[in-house]
Amino acid sequence: MFERSLNEHLECFRRMADIADVVMDTGKKLAGVLKSGHRVLVCGNGGSAADAQHFAAEMVGRFEKERKAWPVIALTTDTSILTAVANDYSYDEVFARQVDGLGTADDILLGISTSGNSNNVIKAVEKAGKMKMATIALLGKDGGRMKAAADQAIVVPFASTARIQEAHMFILHIWAEQIENILTKGSE
Protein backbone atom coordinates (compact mmCIF):
# COMPACT_ATOMS: atom_id res chain seq x y z
CA MET A 1 0.00 0.00 0.00
CA PHE A 2 2.77 2.44 0.95
CA GLU A 3 4.69 1.86 -2.27
CA ARG A 4 1.54 2.14 -4.40
CA SER A 5 0.54 5.42 -2.73
CA LEU A 6 4.06 6.80 -3.04
CA ASN A 7 4.21 5.90 -6.73
CA GLU A 8 0.81 7.55 -7.33
CA HIS A 9 1.99 10.65 -5.48
CA LEU A 10 5.17 10.86 -7.56
CA GLU A 11 3.24 10.37 -10.81
CA CYS A 12 0.75 13.08 -9.85
CA PHE A 13 3.57 15.50 -9.06
CA ARG A 14 5.36 14.66 -12.34
CA ARG A 15 2.19 15.62 -14.20
CA MET A 16 2.14 18.98 -12.43
CA ALA A 17 5.22 20.07 -14.37
CA ASP A 18 2.80 20.86 -17.21
CA ILE A 19 0.94 23.43 -15.09
CA ALA A 20 3.97 25.14 -13.50
CA ASP A 21 3.64 28.34 -15.55
CA VAL A 22 -0.04 28.85 -14.77
CA VAL A 23 0.61 28.14 -11.08
CA MET A 24 3.34 30.78 -10.94
CA ASP A 25 1.32 33.33 -12.94
CA THR A 26 -1.61 32.81 -10.58
CA GLY A 27 0.64 33.34 -7.56
CA LYS A 28 1.65 36.71 -9.04
CA LYS A 29 -2.03 37.65 -9.38
CA LEU A 30 -2.70 36.73 -5.77
CA ALA A 31 0.30 38.76 -4.61
CA GLY A 32 -0.84 41.72 -6.71
CA VAL A 33 -4.29 41.76 -5.12
CA LEU A 34 -2.81 41.62 -1.62
CA LYS A 35 -0.19 44.27 -2.47
CA SER A 36 -2.98 46.61 -3.55
CA GLY A 37 -4.68 46.21 -0.16
CA HIS A 38 -7.51 43.95 -1.29
CA ARG A 39 -8.60 40.51 -0.10
CA VAL A 40 -8.47 36.90 -1.17
CA LEU A 41 -11.57 34.90 -0.20
CA VAL A 42 -11.12 31.11 -0.19
CA CYS A 43 -13.65 28.28 -0.05
CA GLY A 44 -14.02 24.53 -0.47
CA ASN A 45 -15.64 21.48 1.14
CA GLY A 46 -14.15 18.75 3.33
CA GLY A 47 -10.41 18.45 2.70
CA SER A 48 -10.62 21.47 0.41
CA ALA A 49 -12.17 23.45 3.29
CA ALA A 50 -9.18 22.45 5.41
CA ASP A 51 -6.89 23.58 2.58
CA ALA A 52 -8.72 26.93 2.40
CA GLN A 53 -8.25 27.43 6.13
CA HIS A 54 -4.62 26.34 5.98
CA PHE A 55 -3.85 28.86 3.19
CA ALA A 56 -5.61 31.66 5.08
CA ALA A 57 -3.61 30.78 8.20
CA GLU A 58 -0.33 30.95 6.26
CA MET A 59 -1.25 34.40 4.91
CA VAL A 60 -2.70 35.95 8.07
CA GLY A 61 -0.12 34.33 10.32
CA ARG A 62 3.06 33.60 8.43
CA PHE A 63 4.48 31.02 6.10
CA GLU A 64 8.26 31.28 6.54
CA LYS A 65 8.93 34.99 7.06
CA GLU A 66 8.09 37.49 9.76
CA ARG A 67 5.96 40.15 8.05
CA LYS A 68 2.62 41.91 8.26
CA ALA A 69 -0.62 39.92 8.10
CA TRP A 70 -2.43 39.81 4.76
CA PRO A 71 -6.23 39.71 4.34
CA VAL A 72 -7.01 36.16 3.22
CA ILE A 73 -10.36 34.92 4.52
CA ALA A 74 -11.48 31.28 4.58
CA LEU A 75 -15.25 31.26 4.04
CA THR A 76 -15.39 27.83 5.67
CA THR A 77 -14.91 28.82 9.30
CA ASP A 78 -17.90 30.77 10.62
CA THR A 79 -20.33 28.08 11.76
CA SER A 80 -23.06 30.61 12.54
CA ILE A 81 -23.01 31.96 8.98
CA LEU A 82 -22.66 28.49 7.43
CA THR A 83 -25.57 27.02 9.38
CA ALA A 84 -27.82 30.08 9.09
CA VAL A 85 -27.38 30.31 5.32
CA ALA A 86 -27.74 26.53 4.88
CA ASN A 87 -30.93 26.59 6.98
CA ASP A 88 -32.49 29.79 5.61
CA TYR A 89 -31.46 29.43 1.95
CA SER A 90 -29.64 26.19 1.08
CA TYR A 91 -26.23 24.62 1.48
CA ASP A 92 -25.52 25.57 -2.12
CA GLU A 93 -25.54 29.24 -1.02
CA VAL A 94 -23.18 29.08 2.00
CA PHE A 95 -20.19 30.56 0.13
CA ALA A 96 -21.97 32.73 -2.45
CA ARG A 97 -23.79 34.60 0.32
CA GLN A 98 -20.47 35.34 2.03
CA VAL A 99 -18.91 36.47 -1.26
CA ASP A 100 -21.85 38.84 -1.66
CA GLY A 101 -21.37 40.26 1.85
CA LEU A 102 -17.58 40.30 2.12
CA GLY A 103 -16.22 40.62 -1.42
CA THR A 104 -15.54 43.61 -3.62
CA ALA A 105 -14.72 43.93 -7.31
CA ASP A 106 -11.01 44.29 -6.52
CA ASP A 107 -10.77 41.08 -4.48
CA ILE A 108 -10.10 37.51 -5.68
CA LEU A 109 -12.14 34.42 -4.93
CA LEU A 110 -10.18 31.17 -4.79
CA GLY A 111 -12.45 28.13 -5.02
CA ILE A 112 -10.96 24.72 -4.26
CA SER A 113 -12.57 21.45 -5.40
CA THR A 114 -10.94 18.13 -6.23
CA SER A 115 -13.82 17.25 -8.59
CA GLY A 116 -14.65 20.73 -9.86
CA ASN A 117 -18.32 19.92 -9.36
CA SER A 118 -19.06 21.28 -5.87
CA ASN A 119 -22.29 23.24 -6.33
CA ASN A 120 -21.69 25.64 -3.46
CA VAL A 121 -18.18 26.52 -4.68
CA ILE A 122 -19.43 26.94 -8.26
CA LYS A 123 -22.18 29.27 -7.03
CA ALA A 124 -19.56 31.31 -5.15
CA VAL A 125 -17.44 31.55 -8.31
CA GLU A 126 -20.50 32.63 -10.29
CA LYS A 127 -21.49 35.25 -7.67
CA ALA A 128 -17.93 36.60 -7.62
CA GLY A 129 -17.95 36.84 -11.41
CA LYS A 130 -21.19 38.84 -11.33
CA MET A 131 -19.52 41.18 -8.84
CA LYS A 132 -16.52 41.60 -11.21
CA MET A 133 -14.20 39.83 -8.78
CA ALA A 134 -11.39 37.80 -10.32
CA THR A 135 -11.96 34.06 -9.80
CA ILE A 136 -9.41 31.28 -9.50
CA ALA A 137 -10.34 27.60 -9.29
CA LEU A 138 -7.92 25.03 -7.89
CA LEU A 139 -9.25 21.75 -9.24
CA GLY A 140 -8.49 18.11 -10.00
CA LYS A 141 -9.45 15.34 -12.42
CA ASP A 142 -10.77 17.07 -15.58
CA GLY A 143 -11.72 20.31 -13.81
CA GLY A 144 -15.44 19.57 -13.76
CA ARG A 145 -18.02 22.30 -14.29
CA MET A 146 -16.01 24.86 -12.33
CA LYS A 147 -13.23 24.89 -14.91
CA ALA A 148 -15.38 26.90 -17.32
CA ALA A 149 -16.90 29.10 -14.60
CA ALA A 150 -13.62 30.55 -13.26
CA ASP A 151 -11.40 33.19 -14.85
CA GLN A 152 -8.37 30.99 -14.16
CA ALA A 153 -8.51 27.23 -13.59
CA ILE A 154 -5.55 25.27 -12.29
CA VAL A 155 -6.33 21.59 -12.83
CA VAL A 156 -4.24 18.84 -11.24
CA PRO A 157 -4.64 16.13 -13.91
CA PHE A 158 -5.06 13.07 -11.72
CA ALA A 159 -7.97 10.81 -10.70
CA SER A 160 -7.22 10.07 -7.02
CA THR A 161 -8.77 12.58 -4.60
CA ALA A 162 -6.02 11.99 -2.02
CA ARG A 163 -3.24 12.66 -4.55
CA ILE A 164 -5.07 15.78 -5.84
CA GLN A 165 -5.33 17.09 -2.27
CA GLU A 166 -1.60 16.54 -1.76
CA ALA A 167 -0.93 18.47 -4.97
CA HIS A 168 -3.30 21.26 -3.93
CA MET A 169 -1.44 21.70 -0.64
CA PHE A 170 1.85 21.83 -2.56
CA ILE A 171 0.44 24.54 -4.84
CA LEU A 172 -0.92 26.52 -1.89
CA HIS A 173 2.52 26.35 -0.25
CA ILE A 174 4.15 27.48 -3.50
CA TRP A 175 1.77 30.46 -3.56
CA ALA A 176 2.45 31.24 0.10
CA GLU A 177 6.20 31.29 -0.53
CA GLN A 178 5.81 33.24 -3.77
CA ILE A 179 3.52 35.84 -2.16
CA GLU A 180 5.89 36.29 0.76
CA ASN A 181 8.84 36.72 -1.60
CA ILE A 182 7.03 39.23 -3.82
CA LEU A 183 5.53 41.29 -1.00
CA THR A 184 8.59 41.32 1.26
CA LYS A 185 11.31 41.72 -1.40
CA GLY A 186 9.44 42.86 -4.46
CA SER A 187 10.46 39.82 -6.53
CA GLU A 188 9.45 36.23 -7.20
Predicted confidence band of residue 185 (pLDDT cuts 50, 70, 90)? confident
Cβ density class 14-24: b for 16+ within 10 Å, e for less: eebeebeeebe
Predicted confidence band of residue 187 (pLDDT cuts 50, 70, 90)? low
Under a CB-based contact definition with an 8 Å cutoff, are residues 152 and 29 in contact? Answer: yes
Under a CB-based contact definition with an 8 Å cutoff, are residues 45 and 121 in contact? Answer: yes
CATH number, domain of 161, equals 3.40.50.10490
Structural domain tally of the chain? 1
pLDDT at residue number 66: 94
User: Residue 113's closest CA among 95, 150, 139, 151?
Assistant: 139
**Is the pLDDT score of 188 beyond 60?**
no
The mean pLDDT of 55-78, rounded to a whole number, is 97
Under a CB-based contact definition with an 8 Å cutoff, are residues 150 and 43 in contact? Answer: no
Q: 10 Å Cβ neighbour count for 91? A: 14
pLDDT at residue number 172: 98
Instruction: Please state, rounded to an integer, the average pLDDT across all residues of the chain.
Output: 96
pLDDT at residue number 186: 56
**Is the pLDDT score of 155 beyond 70?**
yes
Residue-wise pLDDT for 75-127, tens only, equals: 999 999 999 999 999 999 999 999 999 999 999 999 999 999 999 999 999 99
**Is the pLDDT score of 170 beyond 90?**
yes
* Stated pTM of the model: 0.96
Domain with 105 in it: 2-185
